[in-house]
Amino acid sequence: MKKVKIAVLVSGRGSNLQAIIDNIEKGALSAELAVVISDQADAYALERARKHHIPAVQVSGKGYKGKREEYDALLVQELRTRGVELVCLAGFMRIITPVLIKAFPNRILNIHPALLPAFPGLHVQKAALEHGVKFSGCTVHFVDEGMDTGPIIIQAVVPILDNDTEDSLSARILEQEHKIYSQAIQLYAEGRLKPE
């Protein structure tokens, strides 16, 4: 099967990136990681990429306050230069603009640690605990111009236990994130993802 050229955009630890790398190396994912891009120079995700000889690039957000479109234009340039077909956001802590979305229509995915449309935004594991919901989970979805609003591709459900803390719940959700992100990318690679 043809390998889809992907980019993973990160800002921090990069455990989802690692799961994608591992699945590619195992042959479980028909993808080639063309580049990992971080807005943060010290993101551990960049180190993970380098360890696997994957191009790791920092595109600093410094100087782009209030100029998100200009920043995204830089991303588009980098992604196009590398021949990227599918863009995977994995803990990328920036709000993206139509400049990026229009350059990759229906070709940007994101992973979110809650069962959307419940709990969009940040600190969602804490919010789930505070609301007393009995189940949470994670969602891979297409990125559109809203905040965590695009069409849903895959979700995984996890139970919330009485003695859960934000950390224990996050860890249980993360384990599922590491599975479903690769599954969603594989669906794309097989031409089985229809955004509408």
At 188 the three-state DSSP class reads helix
Give the per-residue contact string, 67-96, with ligand GRF (x = CB under 6 A; - = no). -----------------------xx-----
Report yes or no: 129 and 169 within 8 Å, Cβ to Cβ. Answer: yes
Verify binding: residue 16, ligand GRF, rule CB under 6 A: yes
The answer to whether residue 137 forms part of the interface with ligand GRF (CB under 6 A) is no
Tell me which residue of 58, 64, 57, 54 sits closest to 96, measured CA to CA: 64
131 as an active site residue: the answer is no
Interface pick for ligand GRF out of 5, 13, 52, 82 (rule CB under 6 A):
13
What span, in angstroms and rounded, lies between the C-alpha atoms of 153 and 143? 11
Per CB under 6 A, the segment of 9-17, 61-69, 100-108, 160-168 that binds ligand GRF is 9-17
User: Helix 166-189 vs helix 124-131: angle between axes, to the nearest 10 degrees?
Assistant: 120
- The structure tokens listed for 43 are 């993101």
Q: Does 150 bind ligand GRF (CB under 6 A)?
A: no
- Catalytic residues, by residue number, are 112
- Binding footprint of ligand GRF on the chain (CB under 6 A): 10, 12-16, 90-91, 111-113, 174, 177
